[in-house]
Structure 1
C-alpha cells in the first residue's frame, strides 16, 4: 500500500493505537478520533505525535482520508461512521488491514486465549528480541494489546520474518462479526485458556469454543500449537487440529511440564521438562502461577521455532511485565497501589493470588469497577464472589454505563457485596471513584496493598487515591 492518509475511528483502543504506530512506521499519514482518551494509549499516541480528535465529528474526516479503519467498538449511529458510509470513503477493519499490510509473507505467531494473551505475547516478543542479538533474522515485529515495558511500546516493525501478534477473540467490526484472530492465519499458535467471556457477542460457552476451534483449524499441517493442559475446554478446542499439538502445564504427561514452582526473594522459579526429560530452569521477576504458565508457553513456542535456550532464559529473567498488569502505580506512606486490567472472575482470582504471594502478610484490598461487557452482566455474580473473597477488604464501584445493558441482564453489585458479607468478608458498594477514595483513604494503613481492578480509566482513581494518601500524610505530619 502506497503512503496514504489513514484515519482510525476509535484510535485509543489498545490494538487501534498500536496499529496507528505501525502505520506511521510504514510512512503513512495517520490521524484518529475517539470520545475518550486515557493512558496508556493516549500517552503513546501523544509521544508519536499522532493527532487525536475529540469528540467524534464529521469535521475530523475533512479533507477525506484515503482509508478509514473502523474500530470494533464503533457502531452504526456513530457520526463519523455514518459520514464514511454516506460519502463512500474506503474503509476496512484493523484485523483485515493487519493481514494485508503486515502479516502476508511473514511467519505469523499468534497468541490467543480468554486470559493471559497480552502478557504471553509480550514475553514471546521479548524472547525473540533477545534472540535476535545473536540471530538477526529472528528480529520480531509485533502487535500487543498493551504496552510491553521492555519495549516501552505495544508495537514494533522489524525486518525479520517473525510477526508476533495477540489474537483477540472479540469481533472484528460492525460489518464483520467474526473474531479478529480469524484474519491472522497462524503458522504457530499459543492457546492459553478458553472460558466464557464477551457476553455481548457470544451467546454461551459453546459459541466461544466454536470460535477457538475455527482458529485451530487455520493452523497448517506444518504448524504447531502450544496449548494449556489444565482445562477441558482447551483440550476440546485442539482435539481435531491437523498439526502437532504440544501441551504445557503441570500434568505428568504434558509435553512441557512445570515442576518445582516456588516464589522467593521477588522471583518465581521453576523447572521445565520436555517430553519427560529435563529441559530448563527458568526464573521470572514476577509473582503468580499464571505468569509461570504464560512464560512456559512462550518458552515452548520459541524453543520449537528454533530459539536458543540461553536466549529464552535471559529474556524471561529480564522481562519487565506489561503496563496495567500487576503494575505498581504508587507507594505512599507504606501503602502500595496496584493497577491491574483484570475484568473476568478468573483473571481477578489469579491477580489476587499473585498479590498474596508477592505481599505475604499484607492486608489486601480489592477495588473493582464492573466495566467490561461481560462483567457488567449478571452471568458471573457467583464466580465474582468466589474470586473477590481472596482479598481482605473488597470495594465495588457502581456498574459502568449500567443503563446501556438490558435490565434483565444487568449485574447487581449489591448482590455480590451481600454474598461477600455472607462469607465473612468486609465488602462495600460505593457509587464512583470519588466516593471510593473518600471512603477508603482514611482506612488505609502502612503495609496495605490496594489492587485496583478495571479495564478502563476508572474515573482517574489511579491518580486520585495516591494524591489523597499524600494529603493525609501531610496533614498528619
Structure 2
C-alpha cells in the first residue's frame, strides 16, 4: 500500500509514518517547513518528504491520503485555501482517512493495546511502560509523543512474545481531536485492553469549552475497554472519579498518594511500591518529582495486567532513561546548568520545578524560562495560574511573542522575580545577565523555543 501523509512531521503522524514503513508500506508525506528532528528520522527511513501542501501532489496517486489534525478547511484573506492539497482530494473524491483511524485499522487491530491518557505525563508514562515491558522480555510495539532515550525512536511495531495471546502495543493516548472531519478525541480509535487515566485537568481551550467536555471524552475511552480489560486510574483526581461515576465495565486498579491500590512510600527517586500496605518492590532511579513517582505507579499497574510482576517492573525502571525534552540537560557553561523541558501547562510547569527543587535543595537557584506557546496558553485561559506554577523558581522569564494578553501583568504577583518580553535575543541576554555559577536554568516550551538552549550556552560560555 502507498500512503501519503499530510502533516507528516508532527510527532504522532511521524510515528504513524515510521510504523507504516516498518510494516512494508510505501510512505510519502508533506508538511509546511519540513523540520527536524522528525524530518531527519523519516528521511533515514527512506521516506520521501515534500515541502508544502500543493495540489500537484495528487500526481503521486497513493492508495490513500492520511490526514493529520494540522490540516483544516481554512481559507486565507485572499480566498485561497491554506491546504490546497486537501481541497483537491475532496474535489476529486479520492480516499482519505485520519492518522488514528489508519493506525487502528492497520497496526492496532488484533494487538493488546495499552493506552496512556491524561493531561500530564502521557509521554513519560508511555515510555516507562514500553521500557519496562521490553526489559521484561515482552518486545512491545509503541508510539510515543517523544523520543524515549532507551529506544532512540518514537515508534516501532514490536513482536509477539512467548506466552502472550496477542502482541503488545503501548500508545500515548491523546485527547485532542482526530482530524477536521472527525472531532472525536484521538484515543477513541485505539480500543485499549489496558487503559491508563493518569490525571485530568482543563486544557485545549481551543476545542473544549470546559472540563466537563473533556471528562465526557475520557468516558468515551472507558466505554471502549472490554470487560476483561483493566482501567488504571489516578484516585487523587476528582475529575477522574467523575469519569468513572458515569460507568465502568472493566477491572479498576487505582493508584495515588492518598487513595488507590498502588501507592508509594519514600522519596521520588527511591521509593517502595505498596499495595494494600504490603511492599511489592522498590524503584531506585534517576528521575525526580512526585509526578514521576505517580507515573511509575501507573506504569507498574498497567504492566501487571499483561503478566509483569510489580517487583520485576520496579526493578526494570532502574534503567529507565526518560524521554528527550523531559528535564534534559542540554549543557553546562560557567558552572550554570541549562535544561530543556516540554512543560507548558501551569501544572506541568509547577511539577517540573518542584521536582528540580527537591533534587537541588533549597540553597541552589532555579531560573525558569518559559514560552506560553500551546493553544490554551496563547488564549490566556490559564494566565492567572502562572505565579502559582512558578513558586519554586527564584527568577522567571517569559517569552511573550505572539501573545494577545499582558504576561507582565499576569506575573505581577512575583514582583521583581519576573521578567517578560517578546524579543528572544533580549530574553537570552536577560537570563545570562542574571545567572551565576551553581544556577539551574530550565527552558520550558512545547516548541523549539527558537533554539534558546544553544543561544544561552553560547552566551554563558563567552561572557
1:372: which partner in 2?
374
Distance in 2 of aligned mates of 1:448 and 1:417: 21
SS in 2 for 1:374: helix
Cα displacement (A) at 1:21? 0.5
Q: How does 1:123-142 map to 2 (within 5 A)?
A: 123-132=128-137, 138-142=138-142
> CA–CA distance in 2 between the matches of 1:256 and 1:52?
45
Q: What does 1:192-231 correspond to in 2, within 5 Å?
A: 192-231=198-237
Find the counterpart in structure 2 of residue 181 from structure 1.
187
Find the residue that maps to 2:61 and give its secondary structure.
coil
Aligned partners of 1:194 and 1:234 also within 8 Å: yes
Is 1:15 matched up with 2:12? Answer: yes
Match in the other structure for 2:454: 463
Deviation at 1:440, TM superposition (A): 2.1
8 A Cα contact 1:217 1:242, kept in partner: yes
Q: Is 1:126–1:150's contact at 8 Å kept on the other side of the alignment?
A: yes
1:449 to 440, 453, 457: 440
TM-score using structure 1 length: 0.90
**Mapped partners of 1:440, 1:213: distance in 2:** 44
Aligned-partner SS, 2:381: helix
Question: Deviations 1:110-144 (Å, cap 9, x if unpaired)?
Answer: 11011111100000000110111xxxxx2201111
> Structure 1 CA distance, aligned partners of 2:288 and 2:17?
32
Partner SS state of residue 328, structure 1: strand
Q: Which residue of structure 2 lines up, in the alignment, with residue 80 of structure 1?
A: 85
Work out the CA distance in 2 between the residues paired with 1:37 and 1:418. Answer: 39
**Partners in 1 of 2:414 and 2:36 — Cα distance?**
31
Q: 2:113, 2:191 within 8 Å by CA — same for their partners in 1?
A: yes
**Take 1:181 and 1:146, find their aligned partners in 2: how far apart are those partners?**
17
Instruction: Indicate the SS of the match to 2:376.
Output: coil
Q: What is the aligned counterpart of 2:410 among 416, 420, 423?
A: 416
What is the rounded CA distance, in whole Å, between the counterparts of 1:429 and 1:158 in structure 2? 46
1:153 counterpart SS class: coil
CA contact (8 A) 2:386 2:411 kept: no
Q: Does 1:63 align with 2:63?
A: no
* 2:3 paired residue number: 6
- Structure 1 residue 231 displacement after superposition: 1.3
Distance 1:198 1:399 in 2: 20
* Superposition deviation, residue 38 in structure 1: 4.1
Shift of 1:87: 2.7
SS of structure 1 residue aligned to 2:60: coil
Moved more, 376-385 or 78-87: 78-87
Q: Unaligned 5+ residue runs, structure 2?
A: 74-80, 161-166
Distance 1:336 1:95, change over 3 A: same
SS at match of 2:299: helix
Deviations 1:375-414 (A, max 9, x none): 11121111112102321111111244x4xxxxxxx44312
Aligned residue number for residue 76 of structure 2: none
**In 2 relative to 1, CA 61–420 (structure 1 residues): closer, same or farther, beyond 3 Å?**
farther
Q: How many angstroms apart in 1 are the aligned matches of 2:35 and 2:287?
A: 26
Shift of 1:40: 3.4
SS in 2 for 1:186: coil
Q: Tell me, yes or no, if the aligned pair for 1:40 and 1:147 is still in contact at 8 Å.
A: no
- Supply the distance in 1 between the matched residues of 2:309 and 2:387 (Cα, whole angstroms): 43
Work out the CA distance in 1 between the residues paired with 2:277 and 2:176.
Answer: 36
Residue 296 of structure 1 and its aligned partner are, at CA, apart by 1.1
Note the C-alpha offset of 1:30: 1.4
Partner residue in 1 for 2:316: 315
Moved more, 341-350 or 431-440: 431-440
Deviation at 1:49, TM superposition (A): 3.5
Instruction: Name the residue aligned to 2:431.
Output: 440
Structure 1 CA distance for aligned equivalents of residues 443 and 307 of structure 2: 39
The residue that corresponds to 2:116 in the other structure is 111
Give the Cα–Cα distance (whole angstroms) in 2 for the partners of residues 61 and 337 of structure 1: 45
- Pairing 1:295-374 to 2, within 5 Å after superposition: 295-309=296-310, 311-360=312-361, 361-374=363-376
- Tell me if structure 2 keeps the 8 A contact 1:342–1:453: yes
Pick closer, same or farther for the CA change 1:469–1:62 going to 2, 3 Å. farther
Q: CA RMSD in A?
A: 1.6
Deviations 1:445-475 (A, max 9, x none): 2111111111011122122222222232xxx
Ranges in structure 1 where 5+ consecutive residues have no aligned partner: 133-137, 403-409, 473-477
